[in-house]
Chains A and B, each alone.
Chain A
Amino acid sequence: MSNQSLVDAEWALSHLDDAKVVFIEVDEDTEAYAGNHIKNAIALNWKTDLQDPIRRDFVNKEQFEALLSAKGVSNDDTVVLYGGNNNWFAAYAFWYFKLYGHSDVRLLDGGRKKWELDGRELVSDVPSRAATKYVAKDQDLSIRSFREDVLKAIGTQNLVDVRSPDEYAGRLLAPAHLPQEAARIGGHIPTAANIPWSKAANEDGSFKSIDELKALYEGAGVDLNKDTIAYCRIGERSAHSWFVLHELLGVKNVSNYDGSWTEYGSLVGVPVAVGDEPGTA
């Protein structure tokens, strides 16, 4: 697949020693990077680096600038993101870098999983990069949705729930690699189509072909001429689907609702649908 935002292993291998290309592994669990990682890659933690330590929100512009400056990332660097979980968190970080206006950010197709399954080299040496003075832009809110946007979109715009069918229907409250939680209700936002993120990925974590991705959304009856809001449980799987729509298929009016089901499913007084059907407005 040829796309400016997506690179493959061969491209990565030819740029591992390029000082202006920064490989960044993004995980929630730091165990993976600490064990080994792609040569010269640095790490970002999805939660401790990119989430505000107190409020449920992102780090602000100044905090993001301080983070990337300390990590040695410059504004004119090409940032290549990869990670575990089929690139969920790397796709989230891609969307996050776009949100703060980084000009050249890319995703390694298949992430850590494909790299490992293909038997490619991983190293334990941690590189050191000189600190920089990174300058971020204000958040591009055209690619981020909030709960008010979602409520307005019910029955009028596209809502795409990218969780598994059992989470969409309310039969599971979390992905099955996590203990099932009991305090929150299950279900989905009424009128949301269920197009699981996994339908866009091959078994090795790489993206399906452009033709297959187009067929996926067209086959689900999503009119991409309308604005589209993607969501999941906390916004990382939907960042993967946002990447498919915005970066691979070139659909520009797509945003990610990072509050996702953990926010919506806890709101008082909002409509909720359960079962396998989208439900009505």
Chain B
Amino acid sequence: MSGCGAVVGGVSLDNVDITNQAVIQGVISSGNAPASVGYARLLDRNDEFVAEVPISKQGEFRFFTVAGDWTIVALIPGANSRTPVQATIGKILDVDIAVIK
């Protein structure tokens, strides 16, 4: 049994079979540089919370999910933003998010 803990920046793709899941990953930036403190939150099509990871020092995040419409909420100190995305099974979707303070 693995725990439910969120790894900073998201779980590595090493040893993960991505053919049966949709991967959403990217970088959150602020002021033309990666944000070093913050969180990426994934909401479903009804705006319900699905998952959240602390971003890495380079602003990175990653989610593993199924096909469909999702929203990424970027939370950094003093600001946040919402980015709708569409994920596909077997694909890695790269999403870069610039948060304006």
Chain A interface residues (CB < 8 Å from chain B): 27-29, 31-32, 46-47, 56, 84-86, 88-89, 113, 116-119, 164-166, 171-172, 174-180, 182, 196, 198, 203-204, 232-234, 236-237, 262
Q: Check B66 against A172 for contact (C-beta < 8 Å).
A: yes
A234 to B2, CA, bound (A): 9
What would 16 more interface pairs be, CB under 8 Å, given A47-B3, A179-B16?
Answer: A31-B8, A46-B3, A84-B54, A85-B6, A85-B52, A88-B4, A113-B39, A117-B37, A117-B75, A117-B76, A166-B44, A166-B50, A182-B17, A182-B20, A198-B48, A232-B4
Please classify how large the interface on chain B is, using the bins under 10, 10 to 19, 20 to 34, 35 or more.
35 or more
Q: Are A203 and B80 in contact (CB under 8 A)?
A: yes
Closest B residue by C-beta to A197: B49
Interface membership of chain B positions 1-18, coded 1 if the CB is closer than 8 angstroms to chain A and 0 otherwise: 111111110110000110
Cβ contact within 8 Å between B52 and A234: no
In the complex, the answer to whether A117 meets B77 with C-beta atoms within 8 Å is yes
Among residues of B, the one whose C-beta sits closest to the C-beta of A89 is B5
Going nearest first, the 4 A-B pairs with the smallest beta carbon separation are A28-B5, A198-B49, A176-B51, A177-B51
User: How far is B49's CA from A232's CA once the two chains are assembled, in angstroms?
Assistant: 14
Residues of chain B contacted by A118 (CB below 8 angstroms): 77
* Complex contacts, B5 vs chain A, CB 8 Å: 27-29, 46, 84-85, 89
From B1, B7, B48, B64, give the contact of A180 (CB < 8 A): B64
Among candidates A179, A203, A204, A236, residue contacting B4 with C-beta atoms closer than 8 Å? A236
Quick check: is B32 within 8 A (CB to CB) of the other chain?
A: no
Rounded to whole Å, the gap between the CB of B66 and the closest CB of chain A is 6
Q: Is B42 an interface residue (CB 8 A)?
A: yes
- With A164-B50, A182-B20, A203-B75 already in contact, the answer to whether A176 and B4 are too (CB < 8 A) is no
Distance to closest chain A CB from B35 (angstroms): 12
> Quick check: is B27 within 8 A (CB to CB) of the other chain?
no
Contacts of B65 in A (CB 8 A): 172, 176, 180
Chain B residues with CB under 8 Å of A204's CB are 75
Q: Does B21 contact A177, Cβ atoms closer than 8 Å?
A: no
Say whether B48 contacts A233, CB under 8 Å.
no
Contact: A196 with B48, CB < 8 Å?
Answer: yes
Question: Which of chain B's residues have a CB closer than 8 A to the CB of A116?
Answer: 37, 77
